[in-house]
Amino acid sequence: MKLTDLMRETQLTSDACIKCNICTSNCPVAAVTDKFPGPKVVGPQAQRFRAPGQRSVDRSVDYCSGCGTCTWVCPHGVQIAEMNVIAKAALAERNGIPLRNRILGRSELMGQAGSLFAPLSDIPMQLGLPRLIADKVMGISRQPKFPRFSRQQFGAWFRRSGIGDRQEGVYKVAYFHGCSTNYWEPQVGMAAVTILQHLGCAVQVPKQNCCGLPMQSNGEFDAARGYARANLASFADYVRQGYLIVGTSTSCLFTFKHEYRAVLGIESEEADLVANATYDFCEFLQRLDTEGLLKTDFKPVDEQVIYHTPCQLRTHGIGRPAVDLLRRVPGLTLLETQADCCGVAGTYGLKAEKYHIAKDVGSRVFEEIRASQASRIVCDNETCRWWLSTHTGLGAVHPAQILAQAYGL
């Protein structure tokens, strides 16, 4: 695996580790299984013994979920989660990448095929025998429910909507929908761009593909870089034209802001342009609010909901803008989970050997939600929504969907 200067810089932050163990005490995975000795052990401590070729000294690094909590809580700026992902990729390069990981890493390909043949494509995802075979043969757990494919793709809806006809506005926004919105939850993107239009923004949807994070998380760095460079070329062109990038997937957007450079080691003007112009949807609305541009003509939403902050949102370092916005909606009772992590961490909880670990991590969150008497879950991240809904029986929505309802859109 080729190491760039940026990747080396990520790894060299291990020298700032003072072994305070704050990362380990906050790690959701180490708290529930002995298979993972903790982020300090497999991160900065192990990093000092890794050769330049990044041969991992301990296979237990594969049990890191990549939630990013360790990096977020480190008082000395050690990029623990990032160096662990790089080490996992080196481990995969040495031992080979299982077919299971290659499949889970290609969410866009699955979405394209599934959406094309929906709802027939949902059938094997719901039946016991195909799921059992996938579990035993490939290691894709038969336990979690998979979301249903949408026959209507968001991109096609946007082209028909006419929203892109507006060329000027209070801001020009390039919307990144990601795989989940395009193929599984188009209603999230519909809510988001309709709100942006309502707030006077000119919205375009540039040519785009998967952010590459699923491939990165499953050890396919070269494939992930290919996807990354395609997105960077497309979106950097819009940034040069004065657009800001806004999206509704916290993990995809953090990949734009941080992972392309710190983990994949992409060093380019385009990477810098895109990183500095990228906003989470609610983060962008908060910016409009500080500039006096946010409309708050909300209608009452008489409902009690419970909000969960996804780990990937914490790593953005932007607080909880969705909470600030939702508390302004009249009639809405907003509860919040106190547990930190739901456990799924993208594709981590879908793997047979890690499913029960992910479920144990999320058990406290599940209990809080069940006890809340809320009617719906609100969460900014798609895999967290699907996982929480599976284990609590409640429907889960993006904050944009509640806000669109409040705006009467």
Which residues have CB under 8 Å from 164's CB, separation 6+?
158, 203, 204, 205
What is the pLDDT, as a whole number, of residue 52? 60
Considering the entire predicted model, what is its pTM? 0.92
What is the pLDDT, as a whole number, of residue 256? 97
Write the DSSP string, 76-138.
Answer: T---HHHHHHHHHHHHHHHH---HHHHHHT-HHHHHHHHHHHTTGGGHHHH-HHHHHHIIIII
pLDDT, block means (10 residues), the chain with 409 residues: 76 88 94 92 85 64 92 92 88 87 91 88 82 87 88 94 90 96 96 97 97 93 95 97 97 96 94 97 97 94 96 92 96 94 92 95 96 96 95 96 96
Architecture of domain 303-407: 3-Layer(aba) Sandwich (3.40)
What is the pLDDT, as a whole number, of residue 127? 80
Work out the number of other CB atoms within 10 angstroms of the CB of residue 408. 9
Work out the number of other CB atoms within 10 angstroms of the CB of residue 376. 17
Domains in the chain: boundaries: 5-94, 303-407
C-alpha separations of 374 from 181, 302, 306, 393 in Å: 24, 12, 6, 11
C-alpha separations of 192 from 175, 198, 280, 291, 300 in Å: 9, 10, 11, 19, 19
What does the pLDDT look like over 336-395, one tens digit per residue?
Answer: 999 889 999 999 999 999 999 999 999 999 999 999 999 999 999 999 999 999 999 999
Q: Which CATH superfamily is domain 5-94 in?
A: Alpha-helical ferredoxin (1.10.1060.10)
Same-fold call for 5-94 versus 303-407? no
What does the pLDDT look like over 309-346, one tens digit per residue?
Answer: 999 899 999 999 999 999 999 999 999 999 889 999 99
